[in-house]
Amino acid sequence: MTTGKAYLVGAGPGDIGLITVKGLEAIQRAEVILYDRLANPKLLDFAPPNCEFIYCGKLPDRHTLRQEKINELLVEKTAAGKIVVRLKGGDPGVFGRVGEEAEALAKNGLSFELIPGITSGIAAPLYAGIPVTHREYGESFAIVTAHDKSKDGKSTLNWEGLAKGIDTIAFYMGVGNLSHICTNLLSHGKPSSTPVTLIQWGTFGRQKTLEGTLETIVQRVEEEKFTNPAITLVGNIASLREKISWFEKKPLFGRQILLPRTGLNTSNLAKALEEQGADVIEFPKWKRVKITPDRLILSKLSMYSSIIFTSPESVEEFFQILIEEKIDIRSIQADLYGMSQKSVNQLLNKGLLAEPTEKLRKGGTILLIGSSNNIEETSQNVLNFGNFETFTTSIKEVDETYLPIFKRMLDDSKLNTVIFPSSASVPILIKALEKTDSLTTDMLKELEIYCFGNQTMNALLAHEILGAEQTKEATIPSLLLSLAKKSDS
């Protein structure tokens, strides 16, 4: 029987930009991905269509899958000839039990690779403005687990060596045992004034930092109701945070944004928001189903006076169809329009001048191009401009395998903002939310709402979603400016 190969991959601490190139390449080839709670689910977007996802999340009080079952699944899927990725938060070799999983694969004679990742004990402090070593403050650094296999889960460590011999210590998942940690460090000679910094959800836009000392931090955690996942950093090097904190100063830091996804891929808007420090959840996730093109429409392309593209993807799909059907683009004599600025920009990238549909003139023969659901959602708007025909490039369906992933993302975040980039995004999101009980339309109305353009505002009003703030211009820079001003106020 043909055997596959397993890749035991470090996903990094949260920010998906911190995964290694080699780790990302493994995800892009995967046929099965077993992923942990602390591996950012957005990384699954890079997996091929029809990849099987298996959640292996663990919480201190409950495990979705026991470690023995995870080992069995790794062996079973790899032995079945699959390319298997075991996606683990941070670095798989740092308290990730990768040794046990690799042993199970090796014992069964299966091929595997270990791909390191950036560990949270280094990345989270850096995102909080604290390097873990510095010539003036700390030349030694230790990574320590705050839990072990003992009956009470309290680590039996060389506390004297840690207290007297190590300048900076990063405790993983240390909130539950924080009192135990502080008591032992104090009793073994660490000064009570030693700074302690807790970093929750490090490298995410929802990162939260709590500062204190060995004497005060336990009370502070109780007062703030601070919880895992968090890194507990002990050491004088924390004094650098005041000088070089950078991530938490980004203009959109703290924004937890829901962004309706109308296309197949991560949008440029999502990337721009994340670059400014926001956490962005794009929903829903789509899958494309190809269909046989309408050759009658293709045979009379020269007859249309106006052609409207409903999405950026419809541009790509349409011109791919022209290539496959060997149709010369010069047969198109029509004026070109996009239902959104993104669609207009996609046409411009093809070297074709286009304008938004607001500038469409009445009369003439109109062709509306897009996926089946985009045409359905936008055709009513086109009626205002006269008679039209439609050309369906594909059927786009909500990928329901991502619904439980979406729920987990919502459970770990606290949404405060929703952005509607186009009129089509309004019914798309409302309809998609019906497939999940994690977020209702009424809950949506409690968030800060932003939208692009008059058509999008009208679509919101039609669905009784009030109070949206419309950007001055239907552009990403205009939106970023509005969000940043609101965050500062």
Distance CA 402, CA 112 (A): 27
Which among 273, 280, 244, 274 is positioned nearest to 128, based on CA atoms? 244
Task: Report the sign of the C-alpha dihedral through residues 300, 304, 306, 308, in that order.
Answer: negative
Catalytic residue chosen out of the listed positions 36, 91, 279, 335 = 36
Please tell me which residue, 61 or 184, carries the higher pLDDT value.
184
Distance CA 180, CA 152 (A): 11
**Residue 361 DSSP class:** P
Residue 250 lies in a domain: no
Question: What is the pLDDT at residue 442?
Answer: 87
Looking at the predicted structure, is the pLDDT value of residue 58 above 70? no
Summarize pLDDT for 457-482 with one digit per residue, the tens. Answer: 999 999 999 999 999 998 999 999 99
Question: What is the pLDDT at residue 385?
Answer: 66
Note if 437 is an active site residue.
Answer: no
3 state SS of 457: helix
Note if 58 is an active site residue.
Answer: yes
Looking at the predicted structure, is the pLDDT value of residue 152 above 80? no
Residue 419 lies in a domain: yes
Question: What is the pLDDT at residue 384?
Answer: 65
Degrees, nearest 5: CA angle 126-63-279: 35
Residue 137 lies in a domain: yes
Looking at the predicted structure, is the pLDDT value of residue 439 above 90? no
Structural domains of the chain, count = 4
**Residue 209 DSSP class:** E
Which among 67, 61, 5 is positioned nearest to 36, based on CA atoms? 67
| 462 plus 418 within the same structural domain | yes
**CATH of residue 218:** 3.30.950.10
Looking at the predicted structure, is the pLDDT value of residue 282 above 90? yes
Looking at the predicted structure, is the pLDDT value of residue 1 above 70? no
Looking at the predicted structure, is the pLDDT value of residue 489 above 70? no
Question: What is the pLDDT at residue 151?
Answer: 58
- pLDDT band at 436; cut points 50, 70, 90: confident
| 281 plus 407 within the same structural domain | yes
| 145 plus 182 within the same structural domain | yes
| 459 plus 442 within the same structural domain | yes
Q: Using CB atoms within 10 A of its CB, is residue 236 exposed (0-12), middle (13-18) or buried (19+)? A: middle
Please identify, among 392, 427, 445, the residue that sits at the C-terminal boundary of a domain.
392
Summarize pLDDT for 206-250 with one digit per residue, the tens. Answer: 999 999 999 999 999 999 999 999 999 999 999 999 999 999 999
Summarize pLDDT for 334-393 with one digit per residue, the tens. Answer: 999 998 888 999 999 999 999 998 888 777 889 999 988 777 767 766 666 667 899 999
Question: What is the pLDDT at residue 352?
Answer: 94
**CATH of residue 55:** 3.40.1010.10
| 428 plus 342 within the same structural domain | no
* Distant-in-sequence, close-in-space partners of 99: CB < 8 Å, separation ≥ 6: 93
Please tell me which residue, 358 or 78, carries the higher pLDDT value.
78
Give the max Cα distance, the chain.
86
Note if 457 is an active site residue.
Answer: no
Please identify, among 368, 392, 416, the residue that sits at the C-terminal boundary of a domain.
392
Please tell me which residue, 425 or 386, carries the higher pLDDT value.
425
Summarize pLDDT for 111-149 with one digit per residue, the tens. Answer: 999 999 999 999 999 999 999 999 988 899 999 997 665
CA 464 to chain centre: 29
- pLDDT band at 292; cut points 50, 70, 90: very high
Segment 381-409 shows an average pLDDT of: 85
| 142 plus 92 within the same structural domain | no
| 204 plus 94 within the same structural domain | no
37 within 8 A of 58, measured Cβ to Cβ: yes
| 20 plus 134 within the same structural domain | no
| 126 plus 234 within the same structural domain | yes
Strands (E), 201-255: 208-213, 230-234
Residue 270 lies in a domain: yes
Task: Report the sign of the C-alpha dihedral through residues 361, 364, 370, 376, in that order.
Answer: positive
**CATH of residue 446:** 3.40.50.10090
Catalytic residue chosen out of the listed positions 5, 58, 250, 407 = 58
| 102 plus 24 within the same structural domain | yes
| 368 plus 408 within the same structural domain | no
Question: What is the pLDDT at residue 22?
Answer: 98
Q: How many CB atoms lie within 10 A of CB 376?
A: 15
The mean of the pLDDT values for the chain is: 91
Q: What is the DSSP string of 256-299?
A: EEEEE--SSS--HHHHHHHHTT-EEEEE--EEEEE----HHHHH
**Residue 134 DSSP class:** B
Which among 39, 11, 46, 50 is positioned nearest to 265, based on CA atoms? 46
Distance CA 126, CA 141 (A): 14
Please identify, among 358, 376, 392, the residue that sits at the C-terminal boundary of a domain.
392
Structural domain containing residue 315 = 305-392
| 102 plus 70 within the same structural domain | yes
Residue 458 lies in a domain: yes
Segment 176-190 shows an average pLDDT of: 95
Burial string for 129-147 (b: 16+ CB within 10 Å, else e) reads bbbbebeebbeebbbbebb
Residue 293 lies in a domain: no
Residue 298 lies in a domain: no
Catalytic residue chosen out of the listed positions 77, 82, 88, 173 = 173
Residue 136 lies in a domain: yes
